Chain A
Amino acid sequence: MRTGIVVFPGTWSDRDCAHTLLDVLQEPVRYVDHREQHLDGLDLVILPGGFSYGDHLRCGAIARFAPVMEAVTDFANRGGLVLGICNGFQILQEARLLPGALLRNASCEFRCEWVNLRVEQSESAFTHDCRPGQVLRIPISHGEGNFFADPDTLDAIERNGQVVFRYCAPDGRVTANANPNGSLRNIAGIANSRGNVVGMMPHPERACEALLGSVDGLAVFRSAIHALTRVGV
């Protein structure tokens, strides 16, 4: 799998994603500059976490206009795999590649902590290796991760099976207590209708080594690898 990791000014989990793919999964990666206009030869594009353009104006609102985003949109429309993590998720929404918006956390505070995610469906390219109902332990680290969508959109993404992850208790129950940021229906990650573009607020690249506290994030990256093998890319 050939992965491109997009670097905007202010991105910082680019190096963590590269470490996970290169050192843990032994998969080749290259950094993609925000000014690049072509993503030729890539199988997977990651929009990593960070504070692109300092989160000025609104998270992701400026990055969405970076030259690379046109290429990312084309890539996604052609069925390429795109994973947006944290700020990357915010950018995908601003670019209209994913529905909804991410508001300020209900606590009005930044939150960095371990959460549990219930996998809602295993059809997306990034949950292919999971079974529905499986619980993954992965940390969050954000100030604006409160998922919001209007009622019609919310019903539509539920109906289409686009909800990929929900915040849950360790036993998988979706409870108000398990919701770290006020997200509607505890939504932590969603896919586009085709399932090739996924955005998630938690950071799977921080949960790929036992030394760091969890290996549950590996399922996200391995699913992508297997999804590509499956379609014979």
Chain B
Amino acid sequence: MAVAVGREQLDALALNAEEYGAIVRAIGRDPNDLELGMFGALWSEHCAYKTSKTLLRQLPTEGPHVLQGPGENAGAVDIGDGLAVVFKIESHNHPSAIEPYQGAATGVGGILRDVFAMGARPIAILDALRFGPLDSGHNRHLFQGVVAGIGGYGNCFGCPTVGGELYFDPGYADNPIVNAMCVGLVRHDRLRRASADRAGDAVLLVGADTGRDGIHGATFASVEMDERSGERRPAVQVGNPFLEKLLCEACLRLNELTGVTAIQDLGAAGLTSAASELAHRGRRGIDIDVDRISRREKGMAAYDVMLSESQERMLVVLRPDAEAAAREVFDHFELHADRIGTITGTGRIRVRERGALAADLPLKALVDGVPLRAPAATFVERRSAPVMPAIEEPDAVLLDLLASPNLRSRRPIYRTYDHQVQDNTVIGPGFDAALLRVPGTSKGLALTTDGNPWYVALDPYEGTKAAVAEAARNIVCTGARPIAVTNCLNFGNPERPVVFGQLQESVRGLADACRALELPVVSGNVSLYNETSERNIPPTPVIGMVGLLDDLSLRCPAGFQEDGDLVFLLGESREELAGSAYLRLLGAPCEGRPPTVSLEMEGRLQAAMLDSIGRGVLRCAHDVSDGGLLIALAESALYGGLGLRCPGIVGPISREAFYFGESQGRIVVSVAPRRVPELQKLMAKHHVPLHAIGVVGGEEFQIGSDIRVSLDTLRQAWETAF
């Protein structure tokens, strides 16, 4: 087919010739520049999921409590009392690589808008972050900028940042991962879907004026980066959390009015995406008059206005007779609102500029018509695990691990985030999962994000299963029952067969784990092309999970509570060292088979935990994960400020694997001595192995004759500065 545009123009939009052909077939002519720009944005990987859509169909998305699955601004799950929890996780990797503060800040801003567009009040933010090692000045610049950007936005907005995770690995040098999750609450009858299903409704654009920032942001997020990516700084948006706070309060108030049909946030691909998606969801059309849109600068063409990703803007669709009441709300918050268009029955998006038709496209093709890509996949053959010498000084290894960047205390970071505002934070950041009160009830929501990148690098299927299992384990350690999942799939360039193979296996692992643990996936995001100068990031699925605790008084802490309590290890330890923090500490290559998860065993362990915590048997519970058993024990000691005496641990496996191996499906618990028989009975009932470890108490952390260090020494190592 003859192509009417140059290769360069298509490259700038990350479209290929085949896609251009599909556009021409769909509209029966060559698109003009604006129309091509609109297609480029909506057919970008970021907006259209053209590479991942087929894979994502495997995910279980339904369940008895799911009120809204994927496809909306965020997912929603019933938590009883007429309330729904609304949540989603999203990436902002590419912008953060170029401009870390604003990239991360607007990542938080975008996910907050997704949640309040659903009518829900945001109650928590979590952040999953990955960076290259901090011995590079550039990585440190990215790390500090991202952390400051998250705090700068969330703190000013007034939503607590209660959790998340942080890893460092050379694979993330120059291409950091910045995933933000937001959780909100709404009454069922106020849960709103962004679907404009009434022709004749008025369309208002509310909030910030439209500027040139972020043009082609969605496209930028859909191509690999190189040394010239810095030139894309103008494609990074600038956030204004103060305006967002006003916008949120206004939208929540608007949500109480009758006559408001839909609220939709403007995110990737700006007005083009927001307008097209909400009209298409309602099976209607939309007319937009770009001359009515307030701008930050003169000389902006329709193209700029339609593709700008200026932040803190919302589209509000309402019946014409509701406009006056809506304007009262905007006036109260001193927000600017332009009436920019109308919902029509045409099934088309029509953009007018100075009275002339500047774009006229069928929504079905624009929103749903992208040809799906099915790239080739290859799988890398596994190499055998490195063989390392036996440990000579276990105490030195323990201290070095505790002080290592991936295991040391995250307090220097989370104390720069307001994690308490809104008065619901029962368990804050720094533990297995955060626990928030559901206001007005005795219930709690447990929240976590997880994704160990090394397991996934070694085996994308097993690694992703492990991420789901670990997230669920973190939730049950608080006493809460996992109820649903959101996910962010961060991968490299899918046009490379190895990368597509990783994505394929990872999604299969996600689907299998969620199905086995009966956890619906209600929202998510895919971030591909995390490739810089031909180096791809390690495959990085991040699992966000929400759990429900019916009675907060039953919550279980992660730290030791009382002198004399007995400590047990639940679950089975195996000879699994590949992918461990221990091997990384020794400088061994990341090779071998990562810890594998038995989902059946995991289900039993989690049932046993909920049973035990529900009966008040446990004094504390802490998931055994990165760093292995001794790190988990040391953390429980440090959290509780109480020592541990352990007469010597003899496992059925090597000392290295028992101390520092990262076998999955294990939890450290403490119990009062008189409750031990009950614990034994419960674990027998659920067929969960139980291994006595030691006694809580004293000022020392002692493991047989191998380790004897004071809590102060442990703490000093753990609190090593970043």
Instruction: State which of A12, A55, A143 has its C-beta within 8 Å of the C-beta of B158.
Output: A12
Whether, in the assembled complex, A53 has its beta carbon less than 8 Å from a beta carbon of chain B, the answer is yes
Q: 8 A-B contacts, Cβ less than 8 Å apart?
A: A10-B245, A10-B246, A12-B157, A15-B422, A110-B155, A110-B417, A205-B423, A211-B552
Min CB distance B209 to A, Å, is: 16
Question: Does the CB pair A111–B415 fall under 8 Å?
Answer: yes
1/0 per position for B403-441, CB-CB distance to A under 8 A?
Answer: 000000000001111111111111000000000010100
Residues of A close to B539: CB separation below 8 A: none
Whether, in the assembled complex, B240 has its beta carbon less than 8 Å from a beta carbon of chain A, the answer is yes
Question: Does the CB pair A54–B421 fall under 8 Å?
Answer: no
Question: Does the CB pair B426–A212 fall under 8 Å?
Answer: yes
Instruction: State which of B242, B420, B425 has its C-beta within 8 Å of the C-beta of A9.
Output: B242
- 16 A-B pairs besides A9-B333, A12-B245, A20-B423 with CB distance below 8 A are A9-B245, A12-B157, A15-B423, A16-B423, A19-B439, A51-B241, A51-B245, A54-B242, A55-B156, A55-B242, A56-B242, A141-B155, A141-B418, A141-B421, A212-B423, A212-B425
Q: How far is the CA of A203 from the CA of B245 in the complex (A)?
A: 20
Question: Does the CB pair A211–B426 fall under 8 Å?
Answer: yes
Tell me the chain A residues, 105-147 only, with Cβ under 8 Å from chain B.
109-113, 139, 141, 143
Residues of A close to B240: CB separation below 8 A: 54
Question: Does the CB pair B420–A141 fall under 8 Å?
Answer: yes
Residues of A close to B245: CB separation below 8 A: 9-10, 12, 51
Residues of A close to B425: CB separation below 8 A: 212
Q: How far is the CA of A203 from the CA of B414 in the complex (A)?
A: 18
Question: Does the CB pair A50–B333 fall under 8 Å?
Answer: no
Residues of B close to A53: CB separation below 8 A: 242
Whether, in the assembled complex, A196 has its beta carbon less than 8 Å from a beta carbon of chain B, the answer is no
Min CB distance B436 to A, Å, is: 10
Tell me the chain B residues, 637-657 only, with Cβ under 8 Å from chain A.
none
Q: How far is the CA of A211 from the CA of B443 in the complex (A)?
A: 12
Give me the 8 closest cross-chain CB pairs, A-B, nearest first. Answer: A54-B242, A12-B158, A51-B156, A16-B423, A141-B418, A110-B416, A112-B418, A113-B415
Question: Does the CB pair B415–A19 fall under 8 Å?
Answer: no
Q: How far is the CA of A67 from the CA of B422 in the complex (A)?
A: 27
Question: Does the CB pair A112–B420 fall under 8 Å?
Answer: yes
Residues of A close to B242: CB separation below 8 A: 9-10, 51, 53-56
Closest chain A residue to B411, Cβ basis: A113
Whether, in the assembled complex, B334 has its beta carbon less than 8 Å from a beta carbon of chain A, the answer is yes
Q: How far is the CA of A34 from the CA of B516 in the complex (A)?
A: 53
Whether, in the assembled complex, B697 has its beta carbon less than 8 Å from a beta carbon of chain A, the answer is no
Instruction: State which of A15, A56, A112 has its C-beta within 8 Å of the C-beta of B416.
Output: A112
Q: How far is the CA of A111 from the CA of B419 in the complex (A)?
A: 10
Interface positions of B (Cβ within 8 A of A): 151, 155-158, 240-243, 245-246, 333-334, 414-426, 437, 439, 552
When A16-B421, A112-B416, A112-B420 are in contact, do A211 and B437 touch as well, CB less than 8 Å?
Answer: yes
**Interface size range of chain A in the complex:** 20 to 34
Min CB distance B372 to A, Å, is: 43
Tell me the chain A residues, 1-37 only, with Cβ under 8 Å from chain B.
9-10, 12-13, 15-16, 19-20
Residues of B close to A51: CB separation below 8 A: 155-156, 158, 241-242, 245
Residues of B close to A16: CB separation below 8 A: 421-423
Closest chain A residue to B152, Cβ basis: A110
Question: Does the CB pair B246–A9 fall under 8 Å?
Answer: yes
Residues of B close to A19: CB separation below 8 A: 423, 439
Whether, in the assembled complex, A206 has its beta carbon less than 8 Å from a beta carbon of chain B, the answer is yes
Residues of A close to B155: CB separation below 8 A: 51, 110, 112, 141, 143
Q: How far is the CA of A16 from the CA of B5 in the complex (A)?
A: 57
Residues of B close to A110: CB separation below 8 A: 151, 155, 416-418
1/0 per position for A44-80, CB-CB distance to B under 8 A?
Answer: 0000011101111000000000000000000000000
When A9-B246, A50-B158 are in contact, do A109 and B421 touch as well, CB less than 8 Å?
Answer: no
Min CB distance A50 to B, Å, is: 6
Closest chain A residue to B435, Cβ basis: A211
Min CB distance B577 to A, Å, is: 37
Q: How far is the CA of A73 from the CA of B246 in the complex (A)?
A: 26
Closest chain A residue to B412, Cβ basis: A109
Residues of A close to B334: CB separation below 8 A: 9
Min CB distance A71 to B, Å, is: 19
Tell me the chain A residues, 177-214 only, with Cβ under 8 Å from chain B.
203, 205-206, 209, 211-212
Q: How far is the CA of A55 from the CA of B242 in the complex (A)?
A: 9
Q: How far is the CA of A49 from the CA of B418 in the complex (A)?
A: 12
Closest chain A residue to B440, Cβ basis: A23
Question: Does the CB pair A10–B156 fall under 8 Å?
Answer: yes
Residues of A close to B421: CB separation below 8 A: 12-13, 16, 49, 141, 206
1/0 per position for A149-166, CB-CB distance to B under 8 A?
Answer: 000000000000000000
Min CB distance B245 to A, Å, is: 6
Closest chain A residue to B157, Cβ basis: A12
Q: How far is the CA of A112 from the CA of B334 in the complex (A)?
A: 30
Closest chain B residue to A143, Cβ basis: B155
Min CB distance B381 to A, Å, is: 47
Residues of A close to B417: CB separation below 8 A: 110, 112
Most chain A CB atoms below 10 A, which of B155, B425, B437? B155
Min CB distance A188 to B, Å, is: 17
Residues of A close to B243: CB separation below 8 A: 54
Closest chain B residue to A52, Cβ basis: B242
Q: How far is the CA of A111 from the CA of B241 in the complex (A)?
A: 18
Question: Does the CB pair A139–B552 fall under 8 Å?
Answer: no
Residues of A close to B424: CB separation below 8 A: 212
Q: How far is the CA of A139 from the CA of B415 in the complex (A)?
A: 11
Min CB distance A102 to B, Å, is: 16
Min CB distance A11 to B, Å, is: 8
Residues of B close to A109: CB separation below 8 A: 416
Q: How far is the CA of A206 from the CA of B421 in the complex (A)?
A: 8
Min CB distance A123 to B, Å, is: 29
Min CB distance B308 to A, Å, is: 22
Most chain B CB atoms below 10 A, which of A111, A209, A211? A211
Q: How far is the CA of A30 from the CA of B245 in the complex (A)?
A: 20
When A12-B158, A12-B245, A141-B421 are in contact, do A111 and B416 touch as well, CB less than 8 Å?
Answer: yes
Residues of A close to B552: CB separation below 8 A: 211
Residues of B close to A112: CB separation below 8 A: 155, 414-420
Residues of A close to B246: CB separation below 8 A: 9-10
Min CB distance A28 to B, Å, is: 18
Min CB distance B409 to A, Å, is: 13
